[in-house]
Amino acid sequence: MSDAHLTERSLDGGREPVELTEEPIHLSTRDSWGDPDEHSGGWSRRRKIGWTVALVVGLAGAGVLGAAGWLVAQQKDTELTSPPQVAGLARDDSERAKSTADYLRSGLAADIELDRSFGTVYRDPADDKRSVLIFGGTTLLWQPERDLESLFRLMSDETGAVNGLREVPAGDLGGVMRCGSTSGEGGDFAVCGWADHGSVVMAMFPGRSVTDAGALLRDLRKDMQTRN
């Protein structure tokens, strides 16, 4: 059948003949992936929504990274000192105390690479059995919580498992602080530690509860830690 015959065919009712061409017939663009605006250089509604969502997600991610970067910059330059007097305690400079502190300090330095490390024993003037042994160091820490967990594992290797480990308020200096308890020759004692992006420190508190130990460590930290 020829094309001429098709173009001369009429519809019922005497309407004008329908011309058939080689151009495609578009029934609707509503359900199509394309959009007429795209051919004219515009943006389809779907593309606008997609780019809007991507922009919002990107801005949210940038906000998180910006806040984290600010925190690292604020905390990374940290110094730790061991004052002669701190939080009502007196530094014990006896050879026995130094030897004990150096032993734990060396164990810490072997487990976590530090720029500077220290170990000190502080004596409670009211009761020698409540002396505090504190050790740690400074370096740039990207994941303070992970490094604090490493320090608690080290403590577990040295003294036995640290039980009831829980997070406690870290105070104005921020970071993370956790406390638990373990057993020694003199019975159970509290163990607490803190970590931020510039330091990680652990302390043992014979004769003190976990609650009292956490409060005392915050007081020690205020007098021992400074930031540049």
Tens digits of residue pLDDT in 137-158: 999 988 899 889 888 887 777 6
Q: Judge whether 141 and 147 are in contact, CB under 8 Å.
A: yes
**Amino acid letter at 59?**
L
**pTM tops 0.85:** no
Tens digits of residue pLDDT in 14-41: 555 545 445 554 444 444 444 444 444 5
CATH architecture of 78-227: 3-Layer(aba) Sandwich (3.40)
At residue 106 the predicted structure's pLDDT band, cuts being 50, 70 and 90, is confident
Which residue, 188, 199, 192, 90, is CA-closest to 140? 199
Residue 69, token pair as written in the block:
């970067």
Helix locations, the chain, DSSP H: 3-7, 36-39, 45-75, 95-111, 144-159, 210-224
Among 29-33, 45-49, 94-98, 153-157, the range scoring the smallest mean pLDDT is 29-33
Percent of the chain with pLDDT over 90: 43
- CA angle centred on 147, ends 113 and 121, rounded to 5°: 75
Residue 110, token pair as written in the block:
């072997």
User: From residue 214, how far is each of 75, 127, 171 by CA, in Å?
Assistant: 21, 19, 10
At residue 11 the predicted structure's pLDDT band, cuts being 50, 70 and 90, is very low
Distance of alpha carbon 182 from alpha carbon 6, whole angstroms? 97
What is the pLDDT, as a whole number, of residue 61? 43
50: pLDDT strictly greater than 80: no
Q: Judge whether 219 and 203 are in contact, CB under 8 Å.
A: no
At residue 53 the predicted structure's pLDDT band, cuts being 50, 70 and 90, is low
Range with the largest mean pLDDT of 38-47, 53-62, 70-79 = 70-79
| Mean pLDDT of the residues in the chain | 77
